[in-house]
């Protein structure tokens, strides 16, 4: 591809509609590509124009290119090392100065640039008028006005990209200059490092980043410069520790000159929609109430539509298919039908039953994000998340996790900071999902009768306390001295584009199914085989043998091998624990099972089982989601081991305390 | 409000609706980096949009609405503008 076609990188700050532009250009021709030699996955897509193939690479949204976050490093490393044929900088016309800050940084990288001036409509509504041609003349690069939500300007963008990459449209980019008082300083650094080879990093750019105190560039130069040169540089930087702010100020002064002729702004700002809505939605009281009301509506929809649909798929589709397969394979050995119906169809079916709820939460999250409500929710919830060192945006994935951990985990993508995202990812499996609550809802009345509601509430509170403590500890480990500082943009509200949301939901569902398939199918086959072989009877199976082997540990929680089997079987789906218990006890109906369970175990055992299944290793679909989002089996395994440890320790503690309280009968 | 010398006060103490000019920024490199890229540079004009109780606040700078924690806001010193009308 790269030899013949052109590679175009798409850069932009968050909330500028970059992904809408990306989707409009590439349509369904998208995939995640691994950037050569790196573990970073970037979204790529293709489009054709006049017989030329263009590979479009979607770079992470970033405000600047000074290394502070992984997103900033990825963006600039990609541009410097992969040398795309052209960079399209998407900027928000309503936030012209801010957008040009990133453009100033891109121009310093001396890469061919085209500016996509998006959200012209939003700017017009705010009373801001921009003349793209005047701006283009000032900057020396093409400026294409866009209204991506209405698909306006996209074909002009495609034409401009083609003309620039083909060399028919020449660029004469204006290089952003540095403030007069720091020019001499910059020149001295350029002379100092002129002797060393900084390829592929441009000399002047490297000097500028040194001046800004960019950690990565400082490390790089320290490693390759001679000790005398390095000492001199260090001395210079020490004398000018205000250079970071000075360089940035210089950029904004340059921007002010560039836009002077192109921008007409209102004398007195009109009271905008954003302003009116924010009077309510960012208010510490009303905002939290509004958010709570939205979440309540979402969950009642999940329970009234999503979960019945899931049950219908489970009973109506999966069970019927399994029944059909069993009748077809009746003449074959027992395990053939087992592999097909329980292993294969059971595994795929479990995955498919997730899809409606998943898609629903995807639509909800995408809407919240696109409209601009997510940032407001994060703002009002921040004070609650703050204690854990987490960002307000971590709140939504955690709450969604109550419905199902899978969309909760996948929803962590809205968190820009990688560290905060990974910590949130780590915490989502501690949120009690509906599957786990179903097990508790069944068991609590058996052991505690009228106090069942109290016990159930206690379970949720316990899970939330563990989540909070894990967050506080995790925050200390993940962030060390650097607290997740709260600096967040509240984007202007805007009407979402249904095409973009549809595309996003489709892509994310398809991506999850594809990846989860590879985890869930083998897992369900292995668990099935373990639970049936060698004889076909669960109680004589390998799984039972393993569980009997684990009985010494289980005994500390009062578990016999059957409860251990039930706990392990929950790995396919949490609700499976109950079905497995029913099989192991040879129960015919729900009522009979409850009697059998009560006569077999004391309330102390019941309590310990509920606690440990609540915090136990999440289901295979969640594990697949954690793997997909963390992009690391190591982190996934650490997460699983942590949950395993917590659930075992708490199971033992709860059992021992319950015995001491006299619940052993 | 009791202004510090040169009429500078912490951004956290600017009242809703008041305008001010950024004077100085202070803090670790990461935070500075983020603040300047969002447009908080000395000389930039801003408006306090929301400042209720002890919580986070919302400021408009370079046309963008930025939410800041109180701790982050106290790192920014501003000179309030007097309303002329």
Report d(CA A271, CA A279) in Å as an integer: 11
pLDDT at A161 over 50: yes
**Which residues pair with residue A143 across a beta bridge?**
A115
| Of A571, A662, A658, nearest in space to A613 by CA | A571
| Cα–Cα dist A409/A398, whole Å | 8
Q: What HEC string does A330-355 produce?
A: CCCCHHHHHHHHHHHHHHHHHHHHHH
pLDDT tier for residue A484 given thresholds of 50, 70 and 90: low
Q: ipTM value, please give it.
A: 0.92
Task: Give this prediction's pTM.
Answer: 0.81
Phi and psi (nearest 5°) for A507? Answer: -60, -45
The dihedrals phi and psi of B51, each to the nearest 5 degrees, come to: -150, 85
Residue B6 binned pLDDT confidence (cut-offs 50, 70, 90)? low
For A244, which of B29, B56, B67 is closest by C-beta distance?
B29
Say yes or no to pLDDT of A256 above 70.
Answer: yes
To the nearest whole percent, how much of chain A has pLDDT over 90? 29
A34 φ, ψ (degrees, to nearest 5): -85, 125
Interface test with B, best of A245, A277, A281, A380 (most B CBs within 10 A): A245
Instruction: Give dist(CA B64, CA B81) in Å, integer.
Output: 19
Taking CA A525 as the corner, what is the angle to CA A524 and CA A527, rounded to the nearest 5 degrees?
Answer: 65
Query: CB-based contacts of A614: which residues, under 8 Å, 6+ apart?
Result: A432, A436, A440, A459, A462, A463, A647
**H or E element in which residue A68 lies:** none
Chain A contact set for B11 (CB, 8 A): none
Interval A528-535 mean pLDDT: 79
Q: How far is CA A498 from CA A73, A306, A414, A506, in A?
A: 32, 21, 19, 12
* pLDDT greater than 60 at residue B2: no
More confident residue, A556 or A35: A556
Decide the pairing of beta strands A487-490 and B64-68.
antiparallel
pLDDT at B85 > cutoff 50:
no
Q: Is residue A110 left, alpha or beta, with left meaning phi > 0 and alpha meaning psi from -120 to 50? A: left
Query: Could you give the angle at which helices A561-569 and A576-584 cross, rounded to 10 degrees?
Result: 150
Contact predicate B21/B43, CB 8 Å:
yes
> What is the predicted pLDDT for the residue at A547?
85
Is residue A606 within 8 A of residue A581, CB to CB? The reply is: no
* Residue A2 predicted with pLDDT over 60: no
DSSP structure string for A454-522: HHHHHHHHHHHHHHHHHHHHHHHHHHTT-----EEEEPPP-PPPHHHHHHHHHHHHHHHHHHHHHHHHH
Interface contact A548, partner B, CB < 8 A? no
Q: Is B69 on the interface with A (CB under 8 A)?
A: yes
Query: Which of the 8 DSSP states describes residue A303?
Result: I
- Contact call for residues A18 and A10 (beta carbons, < 8 A): yes
Nearest-angstrom CA–CA distance, A254 and B33: 18
Q: What is the pLDDT, as a whole number, of residue A588? A: 54
Say whether pLDDT at B47 is over 90: yes
- On the question of a cis peptide bond just before residue A200, with omega within 30 degrees of 0, the verdict is yes
pLDDT of residue A407: 86
**Closest residue of chain A to B51, computed from CA coordinates:** A283
> In angstroms, rounded to a whole number, what is the distance separating the alpha carbons of residues A350 and A317?
11
Chain B contact present for A128, CB below 8 A: yes
Kind and range of the H or E element at A44?
strand A41-49
Residue A120 has which token pair? 């012209």
DSSP one-letter code for A39: S
Measured in angstroms, the CA of B22 and the nearest CA of chain A are apart by: 11
Residue whose structure tokens are 């009281």? A285
Give CA–CA dist A38/A32, Å, rounded: 13
Q: What percent of chain A is modeled with pLDDT above 70? A: 95
Q: What would the DSSP string read from start to end of A267-279?
A: SS----HHHHHHH
Taking the C-alpha atoms of residue A198 and residue A200, their distance in angstroms, rounded to an integer, is 6
What whole-number distance in Å separates Cα of residue A65 and Cα of residue A329? 62
| Other Cβ atoms closer than 10 A to B43 | 11
Bridge partners of A130?
A263
Q: Which residues of B touch A98 (CB under 8 A)?
A: 38-39, 62-64
- Write down the pLDDT at residue A413: 81
User: A411 near A393, Cβ under 8 Å?
Assistant: no
Region A112-134 average pLDDT: 91
Mean pLDDT lowest for which of A131-140, A361-370, A406-415, A531-540? Answer: A531-540
Average pLDDT of A99-114?
A: 94
- Using CA atoms, how far residue A466 sits from A250, A475, A570, in Å, is 48, 14, 21
Interface test with B, best of A96, A248, A265 (most B CBs within 10 A): A248
Asked if residues A575 and A564 have their Cβ atoms less than 8 Å apart, the reply is: no
Contact A357, A364 (CB under 8 A): no
Taking the C-alpha atoms of residue A581 and residue A59, their distance in angstroms, rounded to an integer, is 49
Q: What is the DSSP string of A602-638?
A: -HHHHHHHHHHHHHS---HHHHHHHHHHH--HHHHHH
d(C-alpha A65, C-alpha A69), whole Å = 9
Set of chain B residues whose Cβ sits within 8 Å of the Cβ of A375: 67
Question: Cβ of A94 and B33 within 8 Å?
Answer: no
Range with top average pLDDT, A334-343, A573-582, A654-663:
A654-663
Q: Which of A1-5, A113-117, A247-251 has the lowest mean pLDDT?
A: A1-5
Radius of gyration for chain A, computed over Cα atoms and rounded to the nearest angstrom: 29
Q: Does B84 touch chain A (CB under 8 A)?
A: no
Report the pLDDT value the prediction gives residue A400, as an integer from 0 to 100. 83
- Per-residue confidence band for A39, with pLDDT thresholds at 50, 70 and 90: low
Any CB–CB contact under 8 A between B23 and chain A? no
Torsion of CA B59, B61, B64, B66, to 10 degrees: -30
DSSP secondary structure letter of residue A392: G
**How is residue A131 written in tokens?**
């003349």
């Amino acid at each position: 591809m790269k030899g013949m076609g052109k590679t175009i990188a798409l850069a932009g700050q968050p909330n500028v509609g970059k992904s809408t532009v990306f989707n409009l250009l590439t349509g369904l021709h998208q995939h995640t590509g691994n950037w050569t030699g790196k573990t970073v996955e970037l979204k790529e897509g293709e489009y054709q124009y006049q017989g030329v193939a263009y590979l479009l690479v979607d770079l992470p949204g970033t405000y600047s290119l000074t290394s502070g976050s992984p997103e900033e490093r990825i963006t600039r490393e990609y541009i410097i090392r992969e040398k795309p044929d052209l960079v399209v900088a998407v900027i928000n016309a309503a936030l012209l100065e801010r957008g040009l800050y990133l453009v100033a940084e891109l121009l310093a990288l001396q890469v061919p640039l085209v500016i996509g001036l998006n959200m012209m409509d939003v700017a017009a509504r705010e009373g801001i008028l921009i003349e793209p041609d005047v701006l283009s003349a000032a900057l020396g690069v093409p400026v294409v006005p866009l209204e991506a939500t209405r698909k306006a300007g996209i074909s002009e963008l495609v034409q401009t990209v083609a003309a620039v990459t083909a060399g028919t449209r020449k660029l004469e980019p204006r290089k952003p200059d540095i403030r007069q008082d720091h020019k001499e300083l910059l020149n001295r650094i350029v002379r100092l490092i002129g002797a060393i080879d900084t390829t592929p990093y441009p000399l002047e750019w490297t000097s500028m980043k040194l001046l800004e105190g960019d950690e990565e560039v400082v490390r790089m130069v320290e490693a390759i410069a001679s000790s005398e040169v390095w000492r001199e540089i260090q001395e210079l930087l020490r004398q000018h520790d205000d250079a970071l702010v000075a360089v940035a100020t210089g950029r904004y002064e340059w921007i002010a000159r560039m836009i002077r002729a192109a921008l007409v702004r209102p004398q007195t700002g009109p009271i905008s929609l954003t302003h009116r809505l924010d009077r309510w939605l960012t208010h510490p009281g009303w905002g939290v109430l509004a958010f709570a009301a939205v979440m309540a509506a979402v969950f009642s929809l999940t329970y009234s539509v999503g979960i019945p649909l899931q049950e219908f798929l489970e009973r109506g589709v999966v069970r019927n298919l399994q029944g059909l397969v069993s009748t077809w394979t009746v003449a074959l050995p027992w395990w053939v039908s087992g592999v097909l119906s329980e292993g294969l169809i059971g595994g795929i079916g479990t995955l498919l039953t997730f899809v409606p709820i998943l898609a629903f939460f995807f639509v909800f999250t995408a809407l919240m994000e696109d409209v601009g409500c997510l940032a407001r929710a994060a703002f009002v919830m921040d004070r609650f998340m703050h204690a854990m060192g987490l960002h307000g945006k971590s709140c939504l994935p955690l709450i969604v996790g109550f419905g199902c951990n899978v969309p909760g985990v996948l929803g962590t993508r809205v968190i820009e900071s990688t560290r905060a995202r990974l910590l949130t990812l780590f915490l989502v499996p501690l949120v009690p999902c509906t599957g786990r609550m179903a097990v508790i809802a069944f068991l609590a009345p058996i052991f505690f009768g009228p106090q069942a509601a109290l016990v159930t509430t206690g379970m949720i509170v316990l899970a939330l306390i563990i989540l909070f403590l894990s967050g506080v500890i995790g925050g200390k480990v993940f962030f060390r001295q650097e607290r997740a500082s709260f600096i967040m943009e509240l984007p202007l509200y805007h009407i979402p584009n249904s095409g973009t949301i549809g595309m996003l939901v489709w892509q994310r569902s398809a991506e999850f199914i594809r990846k989860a398939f590879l985890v869930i199918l083998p897992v369900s086959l292995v668990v099935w085989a373990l639970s049936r072989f060698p004889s076909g009877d669960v109680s004589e199976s390998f799984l039972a043998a393993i569980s009997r082997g684990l009985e010494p540990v289980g005994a500390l929680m009062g578990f016999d091998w059957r409860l251990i089997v039930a706990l392990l079987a929950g790995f396919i789906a949490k609700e499976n624990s109950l079905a497995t218990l029913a099989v192991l006890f040879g129960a015919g109906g729900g009522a009979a099972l409850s009697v059998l369970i009560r006569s077999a175990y004391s309330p102390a055992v019941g309590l310990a089982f509920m606690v440990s299944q609540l915090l136990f290793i999440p289901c295979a679909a969640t594990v697949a989601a954690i793997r997909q989002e963390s992009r690391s089996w190591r982190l996934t395994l650490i997460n699983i081991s942590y949950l395993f440890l917590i659930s075992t320790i708490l199971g033992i503690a709860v059992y021992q305390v319950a015995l001491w309280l006299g619940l052993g009968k | 409000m009791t202004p510090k010398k040169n009429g500078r006060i912490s951004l956290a103490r600017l009242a809703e609706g008041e305008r001010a000019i950024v004077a100085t920024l202070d803090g670790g490199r990461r935070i500075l980096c983020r603040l300047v890229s969002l447009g908080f540079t000395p000389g930039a004009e801003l408006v306090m949009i929301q400042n209720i109780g002890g919580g986070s606040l919302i400021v408009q700078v370079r046309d963008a609405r930025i939410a800041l924690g109180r701790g982050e806001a106290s790192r920014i010193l501003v000179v309030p503008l007097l309303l002329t009308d």
